[in-house]
C-alpha cells in the first residue's frame, strides 16, 4: 500500500511539473548576446544557442521551428521563432535538449 501511494505521489508531482513547464513562452529581445554556437558550424546556418541564468537564448538569422525538451523527453516549449534574438526563461535549472530542424543541442542552465 505504501508503495502504491509513493508511486501516485511521484506521478502527480511529475504531472504538476510538466504543467508548470508548459506555461513558459519565448520572448523576442533586441540585445546582443555572446556565447557558443552549434558544435558543427557548417550545419548551424548561423544559429547560436546559449544557456545562462535560467534562460535559453537563441539567435537566428532566419525563421525557425524550435522544440525544447527536458532530459526525460518532456516537451517544455514548441514555437516558431522569427529572425533575431529570442529568450525562453525556465522556472527550474537543469539540462535541456533544444531541437531545431534535424539538429539537437544539449543546454545546461
pLDDT score of 87 more than 70: yes
- Measured CA to CA in angstroms, residue 85 lies from 2, 11, 59, 108 at distances of 49, 36, 4, 19
Q: Which residues pair with 48 in a beta bridge?
A: 37, 59
CA atoms within 13 A on the CB side of 57: 18
- Stretch 30-46: mean pLDDT: 54
pLDDT of residue 105: 94
Inter-residue contact 26 to 87 (CB < 8 Å) = yes
Inter-residue contact 38 to 64 (CB < 8 Å) = no
Confidence of residue 8 (pLDDT cuts 50, 70, 90): low
What whole-number distance in Å separates Cα of residue 35 and Cα of residue 22?
Answer: 26
- CA nearest to 61, candidates 50, 45, 38, 77: 45
Rounded mean pLDDT of the chain? 79
pLDDT of residue 104: 93
What whole-number distance in Å separates Cα of residue 109 and Cα of residue 107?
Answer: 7
Assign residue 102 the CATH number of its domain: 2.60.40
Total number of domains constituting the chain: 1
Task: For residue 57, give its domain range.
Answer: 2-108
Amino acid at each position: 500500500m505504501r508503495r502504491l501511494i509513493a508511486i501516485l505521489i511521484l506521478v502527480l508531482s511529475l504531472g504538476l511539473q510538466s504543467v508548470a513547464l508548459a506555461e513558459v513562452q519565448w520572448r523576442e529581445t533586441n540585445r546582443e548576446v555572446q556565447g557558443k554556437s552549434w558544435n558543427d558550424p557548417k550545419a548551424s546556418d548561423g544559429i547560436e544557442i546559449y544557456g545562462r541564468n535560467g534562460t535559453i537564448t537563441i539567435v537566428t538569422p532566419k525563421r525557425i521551428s524550435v522544440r525544447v525538451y527536458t532530459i526525460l523527453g518532456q516537451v517544455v516549449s514548441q514555437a516558431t521563432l522569427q529572425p533575431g534574438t529570442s529568450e525562453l526563461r525556465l522556472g527550474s535549472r537543469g539540462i535541456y535538449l533544444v531541437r531545431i530542424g534535424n539538429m539537437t543541442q544539449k543546454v545546461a542552465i
